Amino acid sequence: MTIDLSGTYFIREIFHIGGVHGSYDGRSEFLNWDNCKVENKTLLKDKDKVVLHLKREKDDEQGKVAVTLKPEFSNRVDLLTNFFVNKEVMRHTLNELKNFKITVQ
C-alpha cells in the first residue's frame, strides 16, 4: 500500500536536521542553530544525505550538520536534491531553514 504524501510541508516535517558538530578547531559547542549560517553544501547521494557547511560570521568558526529524510519520505531522495541543491539555502541559519516550506507532488 502506498500512502499519498503530496502537499505542502515545513522543511522540519520532511527532513531531519542533526545537531551542529565537527568544528574544525574544536569549539563546536559554541555553534548553534541561530549563530551560524550555511556557507556551502555537499550532496552525498550514496548516503541519501546533504551536509551543510556552516560558518559563524563574528569569528569565522566553522562546523557542519547532516540533513537526512525522515522515514516516511525515505523513498523521495529527489526532495534532498531539489531543495538543498537547487534551492537557495546559502546565508540562512538552521532555524530559518527549518521554517521554509516545500511542496511535495
- pLDDT tens digits for 24-79? 555 545 788 898 999 999 988 777 889 999 998 888 888 899 999 999 998 888 88
Pairing assessment for the beta strands 37-44 and 49-55 based on DSSP bridges:
antiparallel
Task: For residue range 83-103, list pLDDT tens digits in order.
Answer: 887 667 889 999 999 999 988
pLDDT at 105: 87
Question: What is the reported pTM?
Answer: 0.84
Q: List, as one string, the DSSP characters of the chain.
A: ------EEEEHHHHEEE---B--TTS-GGG--TTT-EEEEEEEEGGGTEEEEEEE-TTT--EEEEEEEE-GGGTT-HHHHIIIIITS--TT-BHHHHHT-EEEE-
pLDDT at 25: 59
